[in-house]
Amino acid sequence: MTSESSSSFQAIVERENQYLLQTYARYPLAMVKGKGVYLWDTSGRKYLDLVGGLGVNALGHAHPRIVKTIREQSARVIHLSNLYYNEFQGSLAERLVKVSGLDRAFFSNSGTEAMEGALKLARLAGHHVGGEAKSRIVALEGSFHGRTFGAMSITGQDKYRKGFEPLLEPVTFVPLNDASALRSAITDETCAIVLETIQGEGGIRECSSEFLREARAAADRHQAALILDEIQCGLGRTGSFFAYQDAGVTPDIVTIAKPIAAGLPLGAFVARESFAREIGAGKHGTTFGGGPLTCRVALEYLAIIAEEGLLAQVQRVGAYMADQFRELQKKYGVIEETRGRGMIQAIQLKFPGRPIVDLGMQEAVLMNVTQEKVLRFLPAFLLEEKHVDKAVRVLKKGLRSLGKGQK
Ligand code: PLP
Phi-psi region of 62 (alpha: psi -120 to 50; beta: other; left: phi over 0): left
Q: How far is the CA of 52 from the centre of ligand 1 (A)?
A: 14
CA distance 291 to 78: 7
**Residue 72, domain member (yes or no):** no
Instruction: Provide residues with CB under 6 Å of ligand 1.
Output: 54, 110-112, 115, 144-146, 196, 200-201, 229, 231-232, 257
Where does a domain end: 307, 328, 362?
A: 307
Q: Are 94 and 166 in a shared domain?
A: yes
CA distance 333 to 336: 7
Residue 388 in contact with residue 320, Cβ under 8 Å?
yes
| Ligand 1 atom at shortest distance from the alpha carbon of 115 | 10
**Residue 81, domain member (yes or no):** yes
Residue 348 in contact with residue 336, Cβ under 8 Å?
yes
Q: Are 199 and 189 in a shared domain?
A: yes
Q: Are 109 and 231 in a shared domain?
A: yes
Mean pLDDT, residues 103-110 taken together? 98
At residue 3 the predicted structure's pLDDT band, cuts being 50, 70 and 90, is very low
Is pLDDT above 50 for 1?
A: no
* Secondary element (H or E) of residue 68: helix 64-76
| Ligand 1 atom at shortest distance from the alpha carbon of 258 | 15
Pocket test for ligand 1, best of 232, 256, 368, 374 (most atoms within 8 A of CB): 232
CA distance 402 to 90: 52
Is 222 buried (19+), middle (13-18) or exposed (0-12) by CB count in 10 A? Answer: buried
Summarised one tens digit per residue, pLDDT across range 358-381 is 999 999 999 999 999 999 999 999
**Residue 282, domain member (yes or no):** yes
Q: Are 154 and 248 in a shared domain?
A: yes
Q: What pLDDT does residue 114 have?
A: 98
Which residues are within 8 A (CB) of 263 and not within 5 positions of it... i.e. 6 or more apart?
53, 56, 57, 66
Q: Are 31 and 154 in a shared domain?
A: no
Pocket test for ligand 1, best of 116, 154, 231, 344 (most atoms within 8 A of CB): 231
Where does a domain end: 307, 342, 362?
A: 307
Q: Are 238 and 326 in a shared domain?
A: no
Mean pLDDT, residues 124-144 taken together? 98
CA distance 188 to 136: 9
Q: Whose CA is nearest to atom 15 of ligand 1?
A: 111
Is pLDDT above 80 for 407?
A: no
Q: How far is the CA of 237 from the centre of ligand 1 (A)?
A: 14
Q: How far is the CA of 91 from the centre of ligand 1 (A)?
A: 24
Count of domains in the chain? Answer: 2
Is pLDDT above 60 for 5?
A: no
Q: Pick from 222, 272, 212: which is nearest to 248 by CA?
A: 212
Is pLDDT above 50 for 169?
A: yes
Q: What pLDDT does residue 401 have?
A: 85
Q: Are 238 and 385 in a shared domain?
A: no
**Residue 68, domain member (yes or no):** no
Q: Are 176 and 47 in a shared domain?
A: no
DSSP 344: E
Mean pLDDT, residues 333-350 taken together? 97
Where does a domain end: 288, 307, 326?
A: 307
Q: Give the residue numbers spanning the domain of 240.
A: 77-307
The 10 Å CB-count burial string (b at 16+, else e) for 51-67 is bbbebbbbbbbebebbe
Q: Are 54 and 191 in a shared domain?
A: no
Q: Whose CA is nearest to atom 5 of ligand 1?
A: 232
Q: Are 27 and 107 in a shared domain?
A: no
Compute φ and ψ for 135, nearest 5 degrees: -130, -5
CATH of the domain at 156: 3.40.640.10
**Residue 291, domain member (yes or no):** yes
Alpha-carbon separation of residue 391 from 48, 118, 318, 319 (angstroms): 8, 38, 13, 15
At residue 2 the predicted structure's pLDDT band, cuts being 50, 70 and 90, is very low
Is pLDDT above 60 for 6?
A: no
Q: Are 145 and 274 in a shared domain?
A: yes
Residue 319 in contact with residue 214, Cβ under 8 Å?
no
**Residue 69, domain member (yes or no):** no
CATH of the domain at 370: 3.90.1150.10
Q: Whose CA is nearest to atom 12 of ligand 1?
A: 111
Mean pLDDT, residues 348-357 taken together? 97
Compute φ and ψ for 147, nearest 5 degrees: -115, 0
| Ligand 1 atom at shortest distance from the alpha carbon of 232 | 5
**Residue 67, domain member (yes or no):** no
| Ligand 1 atom at shortest distance from the alpha carbon of 230 | 3
Q: What pLDDT does residue 7 have?
A: 62
Q: What pLDDT does residue 405 have?
A: 55
Q: Quote the percentage of the chain above a pLDDT of 90.
A: 96
Compute φ and ψ for 26, nearest 5 degrees: -85, 150
| Strand arrangement, sheet containing 171-174 | 104-108, 267-271, 253-256, 225-229, 190-196, 136-140, 171-174
Q: Whose CA is nearest to atom 13 of ligand 1?
A: 111
Q: Whose CA is nearest to atom 10 of ligand 1?
A: 145
Mean pLDDT, residues 209-221 taken together? 98
Q: What's CA 305's distance to the chain center, in Å?
A: 17
| Ligand 1 atom at shortest distance from the alpha carbon of 110 | 15
Summarised one tens digit per residue, pLDDT across range 43-100 is 999 999 999 999 999 999 999 999 999 999 999 999 999 999 999 999 999 999 999 9
Which residues are within 8 A (CB) of 19 and not within 5 positions of it... i.e. 6 or more apart?
none
Q: Are 214 and 290 in a shared domain?
A: yes
Summarised one tens digit per residue, pLDDT across range 234-279 is 999 999 999 999 999 999 999 999 999 999 999 999 999 999 999 9
Residue 75 in contact with residue 234, Cβ under 8 Å?
no
Instruction: Report helix angle 89-100 to 292-307, nearest 10.
Output: 40
* Average predicted confidence (pLDDT) for the chain: 96
**Residue 71, domain member (yes or no):** no
At residue 402 the predicted structure's pLDDT band, cuts being 50, 70 and 90, is confident
Point out which residues pair with 244 in neighbouring strands. none
Residue 397 in contact with residue 359, Cβ under 8 Å?
yes
